[in-house]
Amino acid sequence: MATGAQIAQRATQRARLEEGHAQGRTTSAVFNGLMYGAVAISVLALAVLLYEVIKDGASAVDPQFFQNQPSKVRPETAGAQSAIYGTLWLMAITAAIVIPLGVATALYLEEYADRTRWWNRMIEVNIQNLAAVPSVVYGILGLAFFVRAPLDLGSVLLAGGMTLALLVLPVVIIVSREAIRAVPPSIREGSLALGATQWQTIARQVLPASIPGIATGVILALSRAIGETAPLLLIGAAASPRFNPEGLDSAFTALPVQILTWTTDADQESFLPLAAAAILVLMAVLLAMNSVAIFLRNRYEQKW
Amino acid sequence: MAEPLANAASSSDGVRAALARTPTVRSRYESVVKGLLFAAAAVSVLTTIAIVYSLFRETVNFFDEVPIGDYLFGDKWTPLLNGDQQSFGVLPLIWGTLYLSLIGLAVAVPLGLLCAIYLSEYASPRVRKTIKPVLELLAGVPTIVFGFFALTFFTPEVLRGLVGLDIGTFNALGAGIVLGFLVLPTIASVAEDAMTAVPRALREGAFGLGANKRQVALRVVFPAALSGIVAALVLGASRAIGETVIILVAGGTVARLSVDPTEGFQSMAAYIAFVSRGEASTGSIEYLTLFAVGLTLFVMTLVLNIVSIRLVNKYRQVYD
C-alpha cells in the first residue's frame, strides 16, 4: 500500500517528467525552427541569385549579344561572340585531353593496380590531394609550365585547355572509378572464363557497362571547367578580343573571364546588363549539361 | 589414309605451335596496354610534381631578392608600390585569407550542418529528392556569378539597403557571407553523407530508450558521425581559403591587418589573380610574388587536405 508520502512523491515525479517533456518540446520546436530556417535560407539564396541575374540580364540577351564582339567602350553594341566561341573551344580541348587520361587512370587503378604496392597507394592519395588544390594554383602551373618555358606555348587556347583538363582530371578519375567499380565481378569472371584476356574483358565488357557513369562524371567535370575564371586569368586569357579563336594556337577569352571584365569595368553600370546576360548564357549551358548528366544517371542506372 | 593422318598431325602441330605462340603475343599486347594505362595514371603524379616544381623554381628567385624573414613576418604587403613603399610581408595576405574564410564559415557551418541534419534525419524521401538537387545546383554555380551577386546585389541592396550598414563597395562582410553560400553545399553534402552512414541500430537503440527525434539527431547521430563532419568542415575551410574570384570581385585589393569587416581585404588567391590581370613581366618582382604567395597557399591547403583525408579514412574504418 502506497503511503501518502509515496503518492505525493510520485505526483511530483510525474509533474517533473511532464515539465521535462514540455521543455524538450520547446527545445525541439526551437531546433526545428532553426533547421527549417537554414534550409529556407539556402534555397532562398539560390532563388534570389537567379532572380537578380535574370532581372539584370534578360533584356541584354538578344541576337546582337551572340553576333557582336565584346567591347569595353561601347556597351550598347557589345556582344559576347568571341567569348562564347572561346568557351566552346576550351570545352572541346579539355574533353579531348581529360576523357582518355581520366578513364585510363580509373581503369588502371580499378582493374590493374595492386593496392599493396606503395606507388599505387601514392597515386591514389595524390589524386585525392589534387582534387582540393585551389584552381588558382593550377593557373600558376599553366602559366609557369605551359605558357612560359618549358612548353612555351604562349597565352593560347591549348595552354588554357590543358590547364583546365588537369584541374578537372581528379573529378573524372574519381567518378569513373565508381562507375567501373559498380560493374560486378561476375561479368569479368564470365568473360575471362571464356578465354578473353584481361584487356579484352575490360574493353568489351567492363568499359561498355560503365560508360553511362563515366559520361555523367565527364559532364560534371566539364561543367566545372566551363565556369572557371581564375586559372584562365593566370594563363592570360585576353580582355575582350574582337576576333574568334581560329585554332589551338589562338589567343582567346571565355565567358567567365568576359563576365569578370564587364563586372569590374571602370564604367560599371552600363556593362552590368552585359555581364548578367553572359551569366545567363553560361548558366543555361550549365543547366543543360547538368540535366543531361541527371538524365544519363537515371536512364542508364543498372541494377545487376 | 596415311596422308590425311600426316595432315592431321601437322595441323595439330600447327595448332599446338599457335597455342604456344599466342600467349606470348597476347601477354605482350596485354602488358603494353597495362603500361599505357599506368602512364595515364602517372600523369596525375607528374601534375603534382609540375605544380611543386613551378612554384619552387620562381619562389627561390623571389627569396634571392626578399629575405625570407621579411616575407614570413613582415606586417605590410605592398609589392606593387614603388621604391621605399614597396614591402613584402605576407602576414596581411594570410590574415585576409583567414578572416574572409572565417566570415564565410560562420555562415556556411551552421547553415550547412542544419541542412545536413534536416536532409539526413528529418526530410521525407520526397522532400529530400527536391532539396538535394537545389543544393547541388548551388554548388554548381560558377564563382564569378557569386562575385557578381556579391558586388551588384548583396553589398548594395542587402547590407547597405536592407540592413543599413555604412559600408564600402568592396568589403569583407559582403564577400565573406557570399563566400559562405559557396561553401555551404560542400559542407552540407559531405556532412549528410557522414550522418546517413551512421547505422540504423544506433538510432533505434536511442528511440527505444525514449529519446525524441532531436535528441537522436543531436546526441546520437551527430557525435557518431563527428569525424566525417569535421572532415566536411575542413574541406569547406580549404575551399574557402582557395576561393579566388568572389574576393577578387567583391573583397577589395588592399591587404590589411584589421578586424573591421566593413573594410576591403585581399586574400592570397585574390592577390594572385589580381596581379596576373595586370602586366607582370616575367622575372619582375611582381611576377615572382605570384609564386611565393602561390606556394604559401598551396602549403596551407595541402595541410588541410591531409587532415581531411585522414579524418575521412578514420571515420570510414568505423562503420564500413
State the Cα–Cα distance between residues A162 and A134, nearest whole angstrom.
16
> What amino acid occupies position A19?
E
Contact A127 B142 (CB under 8 A): no
State the Cα–Cα distance between residues B181 and B171, nearest whole angstrom.
16
Kindly tell me if the per-residue pLDDT of A271 is higher than 70: yes
Check if B246 contacts A (Cβ < 8 Å): no
Determine the length of chain B: 320
Picking from B146, B150, B143, the residue whose alpha carbon sits closest to that of residue B169 is B150
Contact B145 A275 (CB under 8 A): no
State the Cα–Cα distance between residues B31 and B161, nearest whole angstrom.
67
Kindly tell me if the per-residue pLDDT of B250 is higher than 70: yes
pLDDT the model gives residue A17: 79
Q: Is A140 or A242 the better-scoring residue by pLDDT?
A: A140
- In DSSP terms, A302 is beta-bridged to none
State the Cα–Cα distance between residues B262 and B209, nearest whole angstrom.
50
Kindly tell me if the per-residue pLDDT of B273 is higher than 90: yes
Contact B114 A39 (CB under 8 A): yes
State the Cα–Cα distance between residues A123 and B38, nearest whole angstrom.
10
B51 closest CB neighbour out of A42, A105, A141: A141
Residues 67-86 of B with CB under 8 A from A: none
Interface probe for A, chosen from B59, B134, B145 (most Cβ of A below 10 Å), is B145
Q: Which residues of A touch B36 (CB under 8 A)?
A: 104
pLDDT the model gives residue B6: 47
State the Cα–Cα distance between residues B183 and B112, nearest whole angstrom.
8
DSSP codes joined into one string, B73-106:
H-S-EETTS-GGG-EE--HHHHHHHHHHHHHHHH
* Weakest mean pLDDT among B3-12, B182-191, B253-262, B301-310: B3-12
Work out the pLDDT band at A225, boundaries 50, 70, 90.
very high
Burial class (CB in 10 A: 0-12, 13-18, 19+), A67: exposed
B148 closest CB neighbour out of A139, A144, A259: A259
Q: Which residues of A touch B26 (CB under 8 A)?
A: 197
* Under 8 Å between Cβ of A261 and A240: yes
Q: Three cell numbers at A181?
A: 567499380
- Taking only Cα atoms into account, the Rg of chain A, rounded to an integer number of angstroms, comes to 28
Residue B247: partners with Cβ closer than 8 Å, 6 or more residues away:
B100, B175, B179, B265, B266, B267, B269, B270
pLDDT the model gives residue A256: 94
Check if B93 contacts A (Cβ < 8 Å): no
C-alpha of B143 from chain center: 13
* Under 8 Å between Cβ of B55 and A143: no
> What amino acid occupies position B107?
V
State the Cα–Cα distance between residues B172 and B270, nearest whole angstrom.
13
> Which residue of chain B has the CA closest to A53?
B149
Contact A49 B147 (CB under 8 A): no
* Under 8 Å between Cβ of A172 and A217: yes
Q: pLDDT tens for residues A30-74?
A: 999 999 999 999 999 999 999 999 998 888 888 888 888 887 777
Contact B54 A144 (CB under 8 A): yes
pLDDT the model gives residue B2: 44
- Taking only Cα atoms into account, the Rg of chain B, rounded to an integer number of angstroms, comes to 28
State the Cα–Cα distance between residues A180 and A2, nearest whole angstrom.
70
Residues 102-131 of B with CB under 8 A from A: 110-111, 114-115, 117-118, 122, 131
Q: Three cell numbers at A163?
A: 590547364
Interface probe for A, chosen from B30, B46, B47 (most Cβ of A below 10 Å), is B47
Residue B187: partners with Cβ closer than 8 Å, 6 or more residues away:
B108, B109, B112, B113, B116, B232, B233, B235, B236
Kindly tell me if the per-residue pLDDT of B5 is higher than 50: no
Work out the pLDDT band at B3, boundaries 50, 70, 90.
very low
Residue B114: partners with Cβ closer than 8 Å, 6 or more residues away:
A34, A35, A37, A38, A39
Instruction: Note if the bond before A150 is cis, omega within 30 degrees.
Output: yes
State the Cα–Cα distance between residues B319 and A182, nearest whole angstrom.
20
Average pLDDT (B33-58) is 94
Calculate helix-pair angle for B172-196, B226-242, nearest 10 degrees: 150
A256 closest CB neighbour out of B42, B144, B235: B144
Instruction: Please provide the distance, in angstroms rounded to a whole number, between the alpha carbons at the two ends of chain B.
Output: 69
Check if B291 contacts A (Cβ < 8 Å): yes
State the Cα–Cα distance between residues A90 and B275, nearest whole angstrom.
23
Q: pLDDT tens for residues B107-119?
A: 999 999 999 999 9
Largest Cα–Cα separation, chain A: 99
Q: pLDDT tens for residues B81-93?
A: 887 888 898 999 9
A108 closest CB neighbour out of B38, B185, B248: B38
Work out the pLDDT band at B320, boundaries 50, 70, 90.
very low
Residues 199-228 of B with CB under 8 A from A: 212-215, 218
Kindly tell me if the per-residue pLDDT of B26 is higher than 80: no
Residue contacts between A and B (CB atoms, under 8 Å): 250
Q: Which residues of B touch A173 (CB under 8 A)?
A: 44
Work out the pLDDT band at B11, boundaries 50, 70, 90.
low
Greatest mean pLDDT range, A15-29, A99-113, B80-94, B302-316:
A99-113
Q: pLDDT tens for residues B126-172?
A: 998 888 888 888 888 999 999 999 999 999 889 988 988 888 889 99
Residue B178: how many CB atoms within 10 A of its CB? 30
Phi/psi at A151 (nearest 5 deg)? -80, -35
* Under 8 Å between Cβ of A151 and A81: no
